[in-house]
Amino acid sequence: MDQRIRVILLALVQAFFMFFACEKSVPISSFPVIAFYGPASNPLDKGRFLMLRQAGFDHAFNGFGPDANVKALNLADSTDLQLYINDSRVTRFIEGADSTWMWLDSVVFELGTHPAFAGYYPIHAPDVDLYPRLSLLIDSLQQKDPSHPVLATFPSPLKDMSGSEAFEAFLSTALDSLGPNQYACMYFPIQDFGLRDDYFSTLEMFRRISETQQIPFLTTCLTASYSVYPEPTISHLRFQIFCGLAFGAKGLIFYPYSLTESDLDDAEFGLIDDRGRPTDVYSAVRSLNHDLAPIYRLIPALELVTVFHSDYDTLQNTSRYQVPIDHIEGAPLLVSLFTGAGDQSFLLFVNKDHQQGAKARIYFKESVKSISEINGDRRMPFHKKMGRGGYPHSVEIIFRSGSGRLFRIDHGD
C-alpha cells in the first residue's frame, strides 16, 4: 500500500474512534470468560479455536505476534470468539526497547477495526519499574481507541501482604496511575496445605477497590498444578468461580489454557497438554462453563449490593441493605445480594468448603413470596413458593463442594 494512502487511512481510523469517544464508553457489557494463553499459536488453525469455543469460552488471550494477529482474529471471528491481544510492538515499548510511537497507529488500525478484537493486553503482570511507560501507553491507547478496553494484571501478593492495608494501598495507587478499564490479580487460594486464610479478605479488597475506582475486576481460576498449588479438581474450579462472583467479579480468567504457551515452569495439567490434547481439566471446565452459562449471561446486568458470611457476620449488620433473610442454619455460606432491572433481587449462596458438600436452611423474611434458581445444570430448576410445608418461609439447600447457587427473589409486589 502506498505510504500516503496508509497515513490517510490511519488518520481516518483515529478520527472515527475520536468522534465516538464522547458518546461511547468502553463496552464491557458482557461477562468475558477468558482462556488465558489460548489457543496455542503453533500451528494457528481453526481446529484449535473450535476446541477452545467448545469448552464454553467466549474470549481468549495470547500473544500471536504482528504477523499473525489478523489471521488469529479472522479465525476467532469464524468461531464466534473475541481476542485480547498482546502485541510484541507494545511490549517492546513498555520494556524500553523501542522509544518511538510510529507503530501505535498501525496497532490500533490492525486490531481496533476488527470485529473479533476484544481489547488490549499490553503486558503480563509487569514489574513496578515499567509502570511509567505502561501508563503512557494505556493513556495513548484509550485516546486513540476508546471503544476497546485495556486489561491490566498484577502478580499475586505475598502471603503476608494479601488483604493487607499495604497491598490495598499499592493496588489502589497502581490502578489510579495506570488507569486500565479492567484488572485482574493472579491470586490463587488453594494450596497444598489448604485454603489461604487471607482469601476472602483479599476478594473483599478487590471488590472495595473496584467500587471506589469504578474499574471492574476479573476473578482468576487456576487450572494447573505447580509450586505449592495442587492438582486442580472440579471442586477447586467451582469454588474459585463462585467466590469471585460473590464479590462482584465482572469476568473470569482460566489460567492457563495451554501449558506450552504459558509462563509457568514445571507445571502440570492446564486445559491443553504439551501435545495439544485436552486434559481432564478441560472436561471439567467445559462442564462448568456449560452449567454456568445462564449466570454468566445474567451477571453484567446485576449490581452487587452487599456480601456477608453466614458464620460470623450478623444479619443485623446488613439490615440497611434490605437483605430478605431472617437467619441461616447449617453450613457456613457466602451470601451476596444483587439487584437487577425493575428492582429485581437476586441472592447467591456459596458453600465456603471447597472439599466437602454441605446443606443449609435459609429462613426468609415474610416479604419473600417465592424463589427461583438461575442455572443451566438442572432439567427442572429449583422453584419454591413460600407459605407451604412444615417450614413455611424457609428452604433447605444442598451444595456440592465449593459450589454456589443463584436465586431470583420474588416479593410479590
Task: Return the number of other C-beta atoms located less than 10 Å from residue 334's C-beta.
Answer: 23
Mean pLDDT of 308-315: 84
Q: Is the pTM of this model over 0.95?
A: no
Domain coordinates of the chain in residue numbers?
28-301, 303-410
- Which pLDDT band, with edges at 50, 70 and 90, does 212 fall under? very high
Decide if 124 contacts 263 (C-beta within 8 A).
yes
List, in sequence order, every residue forming a beta bridge with 394; answer none if it has no partner.
Answer: 363
Q: Quick one: pLDDT at residue 256?
A: 94
> Of the given ranges (34-48, 245-259, 311-325), which has the lowest mean pLDDT?
311-325
Residue 224's nearest CA partner among 171, 284, 183, 176 is 284
pLDDT tens digits along 61-118: 988 888 899 999 999 999 999 999 988 888 888 988 877 787 888 899 989 999 999 9
Average pLDDT over residues 311-337: 84
Percentage of the chain exceeding pLDDT 70: 87
Q: pLDDT band at residue 393, thresholds of 50, 70 and 90?
A: confident
CATH topology of domain 28-301: TIM Barrel (3.20.20)
Average confidence (pLDDT) over 212-226: 96
Query: Which CATH code is given to the segment(s) 303-410?
Result: 2.60.40
Q: Which residue has the higher pLDDT, 189 or 12?
A: 189
Residue 21: per-residue pLDDT = 39
Mean pLDDT for all residues in the chain: 87
Q: Which of these, 115, 113, 38, lies nearest to 82 by C-alpha position? A: 115
- State residue 388's pLDDT score: 67
Strands, E assignment, 160-259: 182-185, 190-191, 194-195, 219-222, 224-225, 252-255
Q: What is the strand order of the sheet 219-222 is part of?
A: 117-120, 82-85, 59-62, 33-36, 252-255, 219-222
User: Do 331 and 347 form a contact (C-beta atoms < 8 A)?
Assistant: no
The residue whose grid cell reads 494501598 is: 169
pLDDT over 80 at 221, yes or no: yes
Percent of the chain with pLDDT over 90: 66
pLDDT at residue 25 greater than cutoff 60: no
Evaluated on CA atoms 9, 79, 25, 151, the torsion sign reads negative
Structure confidence at residue 18 (pLDDT): 42
pLDDT in tens, 150-177: 999 998 775 555 556 888 999 999 999 9
Instruction: Say if residues 246 and 336 touch (Cβ distance below 8 Å).
Output: yes
CB 364 within 8 A of CB 347: no
The yes-or-no verdict on residue 29 having pLDDT over 70 is no
Residue 320 pLDDT more than 70? no
Give the mean pLDDT of 28-33: 81
CA distances from 400 to 349, 351, 357, 383 (A): 12, 8, 4, 18
Model confidence pLDDT, tens digit, residues 255-295: 999 988 887 888 899 999 888 899 999 999 999 999 999 99
Q: Band of the pLDDT at 28, cuts 50, 70, 90?
A: low
pLDDT of 161 reads 58
